[in-house]
Amino acid sequence: MRVRQIALISGAVLLSLAGVAATRATAADDGHATTRQLMLGIVIPASDGVFGVGSKEPKNDMEWEVIEADAMVLAEAGRLLLTGGRAKDQGEWKKHSQSLIDTSLLAAKYAREKNVDKVLDAGNAVYEACDSCHVKYLPERVGN
């Protein structure tokens, strides 16, 4: 079951990456990373750590600490999506970014508790937060 979940999530992340690549942008003139750069450099690598708990359960405190750190980085990325001119609007964009923050903080909490099942549940919620934003703001990805 967990392997299937990871395969589905990994496939969705790849589709998301394809959608992000379709909206290629260059670095902002103000020195802030673009949304695409945040996705490629922060969100995707950190989410891989959280999503990977199902296929490779952490074996020691250090591995759990890395999962917690990945989840906290996702929460920080949600905050970054609201700054530096990246917010597309103050309505749905803000709601989706806050959902990423909230679900990522849950994943971090469950990683501190060393609870694989709850980290996976929170990871699914992280995925849903991302996907609902992508449906709105990357419509060309829908149907791919």
Please calculate the CA angle 55-60-66 and round it to the nearest 5 degrees.
70
pLDDT reported for residue 141: 59
27 burial via Cβ count (<10 Å: 0-12, 13-18, 19+) = exposed
φ/ψ of 143, rounded to 5, equals 90, -5
- Name the residue range of residue 60's domain: 2-141
Q: Which amino acid is at 66?
A: V
Say whether pLDDT at 2 is over 90: no
Q: CA 62, CA 82: separation in Å to the nearest integer?
A: 31
**Number of domains the chain contains:** 1
Which of 2-6, 13-17, 81-85, 97-101 tops mean pLDDT? 97-101
Look up the CATH number of the domain holding residue 40. Answer: 1.20.120
How do residues 21-62 score in pLDDT, each as one tens digit?
Answer: 433 444 456 678 889 999 999 999 999 999 999 899 999 999
pLDDT band at 18 (very low <50, low <70, confident <90, very high): very low
| Residues with Cβ within 8 Å of residue 81, at least 6 apart in sequence | 35, 38, 87, 93, 97, 100
How do residues 86-130 score in pLDDT, each as one tens digit?
Answer: 888 888 999 999 999 999 999 999 999 999 999 999 999 999 999
Q: CA 29, CA 60: separation in Å to the nearest integer?
A: 43
Say whether pLDDT at 14 is over 80: no
pLDDT reported for residue 8: 46
